[in-house]
Amino acid sequence: MKRLHLICNAHIDPIWQWEWEEGASAALSTFQSAANLAKDFDYIFCHNEVTLYKYTERYAPALFEEIKKLVKQGKWHIMGGWYLQPDCIMPCGEGIVRQIREGEMYFEEKFGVKPTTAVNFDPFGHSRGLVQILTKCGQDSYMFMRPYGKYMWNQLKLPAEYFIWEGYDGSRVKASRITEYNSDLGKATVKIQKDIGRQKDDAEIAQSCWGVGNHGGGPSRKDLADVAEMIKNSKDIEIKYSTPEEYFSDVQ
């Protein structure tokens, strides 16, 4: 492997097993922690979903303004660009289009950005019709996890971590299936090393997503320090903080 792109994130299910207020609180605390750590570490925090940014805009306006500054500095990346991470099999095409368009309008208005890589880590499947919708909405790549992960190793075999996904109409997007979006608290480098070990010798470019999800708070101070040391001491592989868009522009 020549280069590893680190996607630091904090997957949050705001209404999975709790009331929305608790999910909103988890989002706010995670965002505040990520912003605080950006003062001491040179890293990129990636996060998606309009719903969580709206919580921040309403209940923590000072933090929202801080995030705007970090986006401009390139230390916070608006990832995915959709309103939320929806079910990607059952909704009609119009429902998916609205997820993309509502997200696009919000992020352009508030942050002046338009993500070109769609990100859906946790939906349990993805309709082939999604490819045509993505291309017509101006998104040229797709990063996802399921069906995969530690509970679903054999549910779907794909040719590689990175591949070209073709829709019914001949539309094509770059696609990449990650191993897992989370890492255990204080064990980011363990997860990253596992991702490195899974790569084939001929895979020059790869990605690794890490960060504690839900109530975990994303990157921790220890994890960031450990990853910084890993980056510093890596001799054979260039390890860098990155974004989904940067990864897809690099991979062939």
Bigger pLDDT: 133 vs 89: 133
Residue 96's nearest CA partner among 80, 110, 107 is 80
- pLDDT for the residue 129: 94
- Is the model's pLDDT at 233 over the cut of 70? yes
- Is the model's pLDDT at 150 over the cut of 80? no
- Is the model's pLDDT at 66 over the cut of 90? yes
- Is the model's pLDDT at 17 over the cut of 90? no
Phi, psi of 85 (to 5 degrees): -95, 100
CB 5 within 8 A of CB 208: yes
- What is the pLDDT averaged over residues 203-227? 92
- Is the model's pLDDT at 241 over the cut of 90? yes
- pLDDT for the residue 167: 96
Q: Classify each residue of 150-180 as buried b or exposed e, where b means 16 or more C-beta atoms within 10 Å of its C-beta.
A: eeeeeeeeeeebbeebebeeebebbbbbbbb
CB atoms within 10 A of CB 85: 21
- Is the model's pLDDT at 149 over the cut of 60? no
Task: Assign 156 a pLDDT band (cuts: 50, 70, 90).
Answer: confident
Which of 110-119, 145-154, 157-166 comes out lowest in average pLDDT? 145-154
